[in-house]
Amino acid sequence: MATPLRLKELSKKEELLTGGHRLCAGCGAPIIIRQVLMAAEVPVVAANATGCLEVSTTIYPYTAWRIPWIHTAFENAAATISGVESMYRALKKKGKIDRKIKFIAFGGDGGTYDIGFQSLSGAMERGHDIVYICYDNGAYMNTGIQRSSATPLGANTTTSPAGRVIPGKVQPRKNLTKIMAAHGIPYVAQSTPAHWRDLITKVRKALEVDGPAFINVLAHCNRGWRTSTNTTIQDTKLAVETCFWPLYEYENGKLRINYKPKEKKPVVEFLKTQGRFKHLFSPENEHLLKEIQEYVDREWEALLREEGMWREGSEEKE
């Protein structure tokens, strides 16, 4: 029987990522990991790409992980977990293990969108029974806020600095969630730790499917986003309320948007809270704010249209 989705009940569960790790105050990553591990109703084994989460939770001789955990390198969390999962199947087949165990890989956006993209795509195509969770904080935060292909348009990072000639990152972010959906795997979703019920529900679905699943989770980073340490949840909520980061899922290829704001807030509401977008509010960059709004609108409308097509399709059948 699954633990009911009530904070009171969930809070009784054992914390599988203990306190005492060295992640920053207000970091989105450990909030996500705790919710993910809270969602699991069977033992899980995790692989972790190199990054903040990995270095800050396992400084030898300590570890914050109360589950079996492995880190090998930066670009290969998906390949590593596919090896672990294959050994599980091999030993189960031989009768050397009989327990039900599930397998999760964690990677930041650098380890997932960029350097780990090939190994992620390969593992998904091979159909391993794994869940890949990307905590997307929109840059290489561990090495000091360098731009990745997940960095939003206009963001100021140390390798896309807002300079006198170039106003921050000039490209929009890669839509990895849709690219993963295009792999035709059983479950793909996008969520945030500010929507804990949404995230835990999605992780449960991802763990339940027989085959690969991918969840992209927005991870607030106060160092890189240039905010104070106590606005993690409210900033994250703004990403959803402005449709910068919509909550949606693909179940067996069928899209469902899990939350549609009654009144979609302008994207500047999300941007203005963060120092990484501060330069966009000077008069000469006004066109960029417009461009960002247009980009967010275009993506959101495409999502609505796609969901509409599914609805029309199912109505026709009925």
Partner 1 sequence: MGKKLAVTGNQAVATAMKQINPDVCAAYPITPQTEIMQRFASFVSDGEVDTELITVESEHSAMSACIGAAAAGGRVMTATSSQGLALMWEMLYIASGMRLPIVMPVVNRALSAPINIHGDHSDSMGARDSGWIQLYSENAQEAYDNVIQAVRIGEHENVRLPVMVCMDGFIISHSIESMEFLPDEVVKEFVGEYKPLYSLLDVDNPVTYGPLVLPDYYMEFKRQQHEAMGNVKEVVLEVAKEFEKVSGRSYGLFEEYRLDDAEVIIVILNSAAGTAKDVVDQYRDKGVKVGLLKPRLFRPFPYKEVAEALSGAKVVAVLDRADSFGGFGPVYMEVASALTTNGARPLMLNRIYGLGGRDFMPEHAETVIEELKRVLDSGKIEKQKDYLGVRE
Binding residues for partner 1 (CB under 8 A): 43, 45, 47, 54-55, 58-61, 63, 65-73, 75-76, 79-91, 93-94, 97, 99, 101, 118-119, 121-123, 125-126
Pick from 162, 119, 114: which is nearest to 139 by CA? 114
Q: Which is nearer to partner 1, 83 or 172 (CB)?
A: 83
Q: How far is the CB of 109 from partner 1 (least distance, A)?
A: 19
Minimum distance of partner 1 from residue 295's CB (angstroms): 31
Give the single-character DSSP code of 112.
I
Give the nearest distance from C-beta 85 to partner 1 in angstroms.
Answer: 8
Q: Which is nearer to partner 1, 105 or 189 (CB)?
A: 105
Q: Select 203 or 247, whichever has its Cβ closest to partner 1.
A: 203
- Closer to partner 1 by Cβ: residue 44 or 247: 44
Only one residue has tokens 């589950």, namely 67
User: Shortest gap between Cβ of 230 and partner 1 (angstroms)?
Assistant: 27
The residue among 6 and 100 lying less far from partner 1, judged by its C-beta, is 100
86 vs 175, which CB is nearer to partner 1? 86
Closest distance of CB 222 from partner 1, Å: 22
Contact between residue 227 and residue 275 where contact means Cβ atoms under 8 Å apart: yes
d(CA 16, CA 23): 16
Hey, is 229 helix, strand or coil? Answer: coil
- Name the nearest CA neighbour of 102 among 128, 127, 70, 135: 128
Beta carbon nearer to partner 1, 35 or 142: 142
Burial of residue 103 (number of CB atoms within 10 Å: 0-12, 13-18, 19+) = buried
5-8, Cβ contacts within 8 angstroms, sequence gap of 24 or more: 5/197, 5/200, 5/201, 7/196
Q: Helix or strand or coil: residue 203?
A: helix
Residue count (the chain): 318
CB of 255 to partner 1, least distance (A): 27
For 33, phi then psi, to 5°, come to: -60, -40
DSSP state of 110: I
